[in-house]
Amino acid sequence: KQEVTQIPAALSVPEGENLVLNCSFTDSAIYNLQWFRQDPGKGLTSLLLIQSSQREQTSGRLNASLDKSSGRSTLYIAASQPGDSATYLCAVKETSGSRLTFGEGTQLTVNP
């Protein structure tokens, strides 16, 4: 059974800092990995999707990497802003089907 873990559970940083969020998964037989953002009272928004054959994806100040063999992914946020404050979730899609298995999320607070 696939298990996804995210560390840290919560993170508070001053504005402008670069930061890294971590995600690990137990079964390396994944098809892709996705990072989502969740704002309070709102649904999830997809940020980046990395196929299992890819090493990284970039969008603006966000960069996600994937090391499938070690079961790890990182989300790098450059020059953090207060508007980045949200919960960040990673999810893996398994090869055998289209179910997403989510981690518990990292709650990020960026202080002005």
Partner 1 sequence: EAGVAQSPRYKIIEKRQSVAFWCNPISGHATLYWYQQILGQGPKLLIQFQNNGVVDDSQLPKDRFSAERLKGVDSTLKIQPAKLEDSAVYLCASSLGTWNTDTQYFGPGTRLTVL
Q: By the criterion CB under 8 A, which residues form the site for partner 1?
A: 4, 31-32, 41-46, 49, 51, 89, 91, 93, 97-100, 102-105
Q: Output 3 or 15, the one with its CB closest to partner 1.
A: 3
Q: Prior bond to 82 cis, omega within 30?
A: no
Closest approach of Cβ 96 to partner 1, in Å? Answer: 10
Cβ closest to partner 1, residue 11 vs residue 44: 44
The least CB distance from residue 14 to partner 1, in Å, is 25
CA-based nearest residue to 36, from 87, 72, 78, 83: 87
Quote the least distance from Cβ 67 to partner 1, whole Å: 20
Identity of the residue, 18 or 26, whose beta carbon is nearer to partner 1 in the bound complex: 26
CB of 78 to partner 1, least distance (A): 23
Rounded Cα–Cα distance for residues 50 and 62 (Å) = 13
Going by C-beta distance under 8 Å and a sequence separation of 6 or more, which residues neighbour residue 35?
Answer: 23, 46, 47, 48, 49, 62, 64, 73, 75, 88, 89, 90
The residue to which tokens 């969740």 are assigned: 38
Query: Residue 61 or 99: which CB sits closer to partner 1?
Result: 99
Q: Specify the DSSP class assigned to residue 85.
A: -
